[in-house]
Each structure stands twice: as structure tokens, then as C-alpha cells.
Amino acid sequence: MADTPRERGQLPKAYLRIDPNIDFTHPAPGDMVALICAANRQPKRGLFKSPEIARRVLGRGLFERSMKRGDLVQNGAGVYVDGWQEWQEHDWTVGERMRRLRSRHRHPDTEET
């Protein structure tokens, strides 16, 4: 991930991007919003350092549902919110962000950048 850790005392971003159709595109939109908010408060936004930390922060139920749905994925750095880079990071235009999201759906094994 290209995200850099927040400096000590730095606040999370003042806003978070979500799909405006999340209530139609996600089976549990409330779970996803709670997951995004919790992930935003991590030292490396979007990444929990370990499954144990994610489970403690999210609670067992939300953690297990998120892992089962693929909203959370394990990678070499910890447990990552799938799609975080495309939605939250960089100042991509809407068109560029959507192109990247569509590309990920067609090629799910692509590394996060």
C-alpha cells in the first residue's frame, strides 16, 4: 500500500467516500460504513495491523461478517479494507476512480497500489 502512517496526533480525514448506492450494492450497508469508519482511525488508514486487532476494534460479529463477504482481506501487512485505495486515497477524478474499481472487479488478483 502506498499510504503513509499518520503522524502522532494527526486526525483522520474529515470525510470518507462511499458508493452513493451502497444501500443497493452492499448486502449490509451499515456494516460497511462502520468498517470504513473504524479503518479510517487506524495508524495506516484502511489497514488493521493484524486480524486480532481488527477483531477487537470491530467486534467478533462485524469482523467475521466482513471477512466472509470479502470486505476485509488479509495481506502481508495485516487486514485491509478491500477497495480502500480506490475509494479513499489519492485525488483521482471520479472517472479514474471508477475505472480502477471496474478493473479490480475484472482482475481481482491485482495488487493494491
Could you tell me which of 70, 69, 49, 51 has the C-alpha nearest to residue 60?
51
Whether 6 is in a domain gets the answer no
Whether 2 is in a domain gets the answer no
Whether 71 is in a domain gets the answer yes
Whether 15 is in a domain gets the answer no
Whether 78 is in a domain gets the answer yes
Could you tell me which of 53, 101, 99, 103 has the C-alpha nearest to residue 74?
53
Whether 9 is in a domain gets the answer no
- In the predicted structure, residue 13 carries a pLDDT above the cut 80: no
What is the band of 7 on the pLDDT scale with cuts at 50, 70, 90?
Answer: low
In this prediction the pTM is 0.69
- How far is CA 20 from its chain centroid? 16
Domain of 80? Answer: 22-106
- To the nearest 10°, report the CA torsion of 90, 108, 26, 31: -70
- In the predicted structure, residue 2 carries a pLDDT above the cut 50: no
> What pLDDT is stored for residue 105 in this prediction?
64
Whether 10 is in a domain gets the answer no
User: Domain count of the chain?
Assistant: 1
- In the predicted structure, residue 63 carries a pLDDT above the cut 70: yes
Whether 38 is in a domain gets the answer yes
Higher pLDDT, 22 or 107: 22
Backbone angles phi, psi at 74, to 5 degrees: -85, 135
